[in-house]
Chains A and B, each alone.
Chain A
Amino acid sequence: MTAPFEPRILVFACNWCSYAGADMAGVSRFQMPPNCRVVRVMCSARVKPEQILAALTRGIDAVVVLGCHPGDCHYTEGNYHTRRRALVLDALLATLGVEKERFQVRWISAAEGAKFAAAIREVIEAVRDLGPNPLGRSHGTQAS
């Protein structure tokens, strides 16, 4: 009898909006499943698709990138770059047959704690249904 599958999900959040939104969720005590780990970056545009591909091929079950609403970027246009990169990465992952739930982008402002919580719950539900990330099956460090 093995334990039910619990996905490990990596979340990149921009310092100015989404990380603050996550804080807001905490301050508001919105409860959510403990599958996500948030990594703070100054701007969602710092997130490099290579990092996302690395996470996925290293067996992380899903990656979420959170940024300010388009037009609200603290650095004026960072999240527009994030969006383009994400669109291309979407296309790449879709081509490779990776389920779209394994890479998601959400725009969440500093005030949207509830939205952050909701987004995280959605992602976790969706990935739980998908099961473990197949790309991680043969990643490079287990003593095999």
Chain B
Amino acid sequence: MGKVRVGVFVCHCGSNIGGTVRVPEVVEYARTLPSVRYAEHNLYTCSDAGLTSIKKKIAEHGLTRVVVASCTPRTHEALFRHACEEAGLNRYLFEFVNLREHCSWIHMREPDAATAKAKDLVRMGVAKAALLVPLEAARAKVTPVSLVIGGGAAGLAAAGSLSRQGFQVHLVERADMLGGLTAGLWRLLPGDRPAAEVVGALTKEVTTSGNVQIHLRSTIEDVSGFIGAFKVRLATPDGFAELEVGTIIVATGARELEPLGLYRWRELDGVMTQLELERELVAGRTRYGDAVFINCAGSREPGRTYCGRLCCAVAIKNARYLKELDPDARVTVLQRDVMAFGAEFEGEYRRAMEAGVRFVRYSPSLLPEVVGDASVKAVRVHHDLMGRDIEIPAQVVVLTTPLASHAEAGDLSRMLKVPLDADGFFLEAHMKLRPVEFATDGVFVAGAARFPADIREAVSQGIAAAAKAAAPMHAGEVIVEATTARTDPLACSGCGGCEAVCPFGAVTVEKDAKGRPVSSVNAVVCKGCGACAAACPQGAVQQQGFTEQQILEMVESLAFGREEAP
């Protein structure tokens, strides 16, 4: 890798560093370090003057490694790497030393100690720099085709958005029709718009666009590959199909929880779930008589502790419909507390009360009781405010159950190497910063597959996921982290430790020509965390840019490198 000639550039950062650390002294010290061929200080190394000087000195002194001792790599590393690149030096032959955040700013009253520490830090940086090697970021072509798993609101929105952008889309739906849960609904809040219209609008786009290939009654059998080049095996009514896609959007939605064993559902006539109610409404039933809705059926309790979020709004909506269908009927909603978030739902809540729907609070310690022999007669409940039991006559009891994750989510999460949360919903890379992405590149999530979402949320998440998925497909290639892991096949015993700890499935152990197990890293999938390198007892797996030798050299230059004997 050529001669090691290190150049050190120490920054005053105005007085931010220079006001505490005696920068010229640090530069003098740097000049005494082995393999340092040049050192200087700059008022602002990140200024044009500073960057120009770096480039000039690289040429003048034939520097092959550059160390900048200034602020934090988190803000300035890219800038200095770029400067090295402009001077014809590989961008990874640059090492950053943090003298500001990690030294001058935190030892402002101790110039001597801060200066001594700055020398240590520079020495450690130079020690590592001397061992840096040029790296090339891996590039991978991205097939401009996307797979959308799930034909519900989120999936339809995602597929529609992608097709509008001119990408081929495979839309996979295991049911025999599109629309998902929404398709079975009556009317939607806000605005009482018939669900059929919304589904129709969403569906129309994908069915009419030539870009979306719809696979009904189809399921995912197997997924291999990585961003840009996934291979997907599809089970369709007419046999298996192999798809090659660049990105994958998971929009598998959720299911309405079946309240088995709760409130005598499937035991008494007249006890039904919200979805069952809406299907009846769609089918045209108009007579219900007195109705009691029981919220939080099967949610916010041990075993399923989460709040379904939407169910309150659904109960509010349907309670009002029943009241409107039969103004004389007594419609009561038993609730633990009403989560009618946002202006619209708050409005709907008021609207329902004005329509004459009664809301009665019950406590989880005293659950309501459905009374009746063959069919529902009444619901007995402890009225929290009156502090006594009351009995509410009813012909219909509607159970408001939360959305729950699909049992099959587990298989899909294994195939895609993406995680699930404790409730079996898909877990995104970061709930705030990367809400529709998985940690695994090229795989995205939208809608109720992540967490109970209403149609608005499902659609916007679908469009967001589509946008995220479109980015690499527009670029046509992905450039991935260069500080990835790498295996030395001669040193590797094939024990599989690296494979076991890799969160991304980037490391695999397979037999070589001689039949010996050997690990290898897929640089495109690897995110450069280094967990595998730390798991390898022998050091056969190395993380480029953070090799065993580089780190140990820093440790030793701290332990042994001082002027005075330790």
Contact = CB atoms under 8 A, between A and B. Distances in A.
A–B touching in complex (CB under 8 Å): yes
B110 A34 contact: yes
A30 B106 contact: yes
Contacts of A26: 72, 100-102, 105-106
A29 B338 CA distance: 46
A25 B106 CA distance: 8
A86 B101 CA distance: 27
B101 A60 contact: no
Contacts of B528: 42
Contacts of B535: 81
B566 A55 contact: no
A76 B439 contact: yes
B28 interface: no
Contacts of A109: none
Contacts of A136: 559, 566
B117 A34 contact: yes
Contacts of A59: 559-560, 566
A89 to B, nearest CB: 12
Given A30-B106, A34-B116, A45 B558 contact: no
B74 A42 contact: no
A63 to B, nearest CB: 9
B536 to A, nearest CB: 9
Contacts of A49: 534
B108 A51 contact: no
Given A23-B74, A29-B105, A37-B117, A76 B419 contact: yes
B276 interface: no
A37 B534 contact: no
A54 interface: yes
B175 interface: no
Contacts of A88: none
Contacts, number: 135
What band does the interface of chain A fall in when counting residues whose beta carbon is under 8 Å from B?
Answer: 35 or more
B333 to A, nearest CB: 36
Contacts of B186: none
Given A25-B106, A34-B113, A75 B559 contact: no
Contact of A39 (B483, B527, B551): B551
A139 interface: yes
Interface string A32-68: 1110011111110111110100110011100000000
Contacts of A33: 107, 113
Interface in B71-110: 72-74, 98, 100-103, 105-110
B501 A81 contact: yes
Interface in B112-134: 113-114, 116-117, 120-121, 124
Contact of B552 (A19, A23, A41, A54): A54
B385 interface: no
Given A34-B113, A60-B558, A78-B529, A41 B546 contact: yes
A27 interface: yes
Contact of B503 (A10, A76, A139): A76
Q: Which 9 A-B pairs have the closest CB atoms?
A: A26-B101, A46-B530, A45-B531, A75-B529, A43-B529, A26-B105, A34-B113, A58-B559, A48-B534
Given A46-B543, A81-B501, 8 more contacts: A19-B72, A33-B107, A37-B117, A38-B98, A42-B483, A42-B546, A75-B503, A78-B503
24 contacts: A8-B558, A10-B558, A15-B74, A23-B74, A23-B101, A26-B72, A26-B100, A26-B101, A29-B106, A31-B106, A33-B107, A34-B110, A34-B113, A34-B114, A34-B116, A37-B124, A38-B102, A42-B483, A42-B529, A46-B533, A46-B534, A48-B534, A48-B551, A75-B504
